[in-house]
Structure 1
């Protein structure tokens, strides 16, 4: 579903008449959904993938009238099936959005050194390696100058307990951008970038133990006094998907509303030191 006749202003990003694969819509709060809406509003066509039949049913109303394909990225056969479907329909992709992440916190938020091998490997398979697996499978579906965008985090070097063991996973995802760019350059000009998002108010993040408190803290540290909005991350992703960003590849663009420059805000420091004295 797309706007078939966008105005010149709406088509500033050049999405009109092109097709994009968006992976990771779970509900209307999803970053993937915000990105997809921007593509559609600018005249592009979106093909959606969801992880299961149950997810397809839960998003049926949200994605009504759109093309939805089930693809669990833990299952290589489903990735191959997705690629086969796109090939049989001779689909050419102008871009791909990879907004997929998962970590098993069923035992609560444990110290990092207690992370199990099973937890870590599953998380890196779904959240990081899946980007490489999907892009390899659909490589013949990409336009020569297609753009791939994934969703990272604003820093992978901050040891925040509220993010568990996902920062090293996202670091692997971020590093893979350079290697994908280089290897794909042998036969194309496909670009690979990430939007490194600050703390967002999404359904997925709300389920992470301690995340809400970190989100509220972020609002205190961000210079403007309010957290990053999902649409701000989506707008950056849309830019990276467009030809307007043709000179950008293998990069992570930080969208944190300035949080990383303001950790030592006098008001925040004062509140902490006053509390420690009490």
Structure 2
């Protein structure tokens, strides 16, 4: 053991390693919170963002970082991302896939009224993109790399405030097992998800009705306050690290216990009393 007690302990084992983080939109993004933790632990982060406009808007926030434009709806962008990393012989210790999109421009509708265009676009961007990016980057991953995506705490809760995204996230979650199996033929790359409870982000704020659901979640969660992005990021950073080497094809729920407390007496009482009134 070193005699220098001031030397930092690289507990996570990610110092000096390189990670690709996809999905930073602003400083409130889960992806940005994860990237900050990677950098704080001594890792290097390469950022992939959706558009030139997004790269420009993040110029100050991500000053002196490497930013690559990659619109995951465009296979040529995904191929270009892989080519650029290959040109520099980048070896990735991990990938953060924090990408999701659903078109709610016409407001929330009953699930059965979801259009084919809406559903297929959402599954392309939010779920298939993980498969496409991992396939393109398979030669860039270290043999024991870790891939982490962001899911939701339950895909079985038919929440009207989340529109048609739960089935999309269910597809994303299912793909983890199949990616783990197919990649196991030539590597030990791991695939996991952080299944996050309701979060206060810029993207979620734009979903009709989401804020009310977020406030309700705070009432149901035993500790009385919602999950925050730092908590989700901490779980993701752990999953990216060798410390989680025995975990793969899993969705780790981070909901601060919301799922155990739906029938809290005070919440039930408030609803029933309101019904009586």
| Common fold: TM-score over 0.5 | yes
How far, CA to CA, are the matches of 2:110 and 2:145 in structure 1?
Answer: 40
How far, CA to CA, are the matches of 1:59 and 1:196 in structure 2?
Answer: 26
- What is the correspondence of 1:111-130 to structure 2 with a 5 Å cutoff? 111-130=110-129
How far, CA to CA, are the matches of 2:121 and 2:53 in structure 1?
Answer: 20
How far, CA to CA, are the matches of 2:54 and 2:109 in structure 1?
Answer: 28
TM-score for both structures, normalised by structure 2 = 0.97
How far, CA to CA, are the matches of 1:26 and 1:229 in structure 2?
Answer: 17
- Gap runs ≥5 in structure 2: 1-5
Partner secondary structure for residue 20 of structure 2:
strand
How far, CA to CA, are the matches of 1:140 and 1:207 in structure 2?
Answer: 37
- The Cα shift of 1:7 comes to 4.3
Deviation digits for residues 112-150 of structure 1 (CA, Å, limit 9, x no counterpart): 000000000000000000000000000000000000000
Give the structure 2 partner of residue 239 of structure 1.
238
- What is the correspondence of 1:48-87 to structure 2 with a 5 Å cutoff? 48-87=47-86
Give the structure 1 partner of residue 183 of structure 2.
184
Runs of 4+ in 1 over 6 A off after TM superposition: none
- The Cα shift of 1:15 comes to 1.1
Q: Label 1:68 to 1:7 Cα distance change in 2 as closer, same or farther (>3 A).
A: farther
Give the structure 1 partner of residue 149 of structure 2.
150
Deviation digits for residues 230-253 of structure 1 (CA, Å, limit 9, x no counterpart): 000000000000000000000000
- The Cα shift of 1:8 comes to 3.1
- How many residue pairs get matched? 272
Give the structure 2 partner of residue 3 of structure 1.
none
Give the structure 2 partner of residue 225 of structure 1.
224
Q: CA RMSD in A?
A: 0.8
- The Cα shift of 1:178 comes to 0.0
How far, CA to CA, are the matches of 2:212 and 2:222 in structure 1?
Answer: 18
How far, CA to CA, are the matches of 1:61 and 1:272 in structure 2?
Answer: 46
1:212 aligned onto 2:216: no
Q: Label 1:80 to 1:111 Cα distance change in 2 as closer, same or farther (>3 A).
A: same
How far, CA to CA, are the matches of 1:263 and 1:239 in structure 2?
Answer: 28
TM-score for both structures, normalised by structure 1 = 0.97
Q: Label 1:250 to 1:85 Cα distance change in 2 as closer, same or farther (>3 A).
A: same
- Gap runs ≥5 in structure 1: 1-5
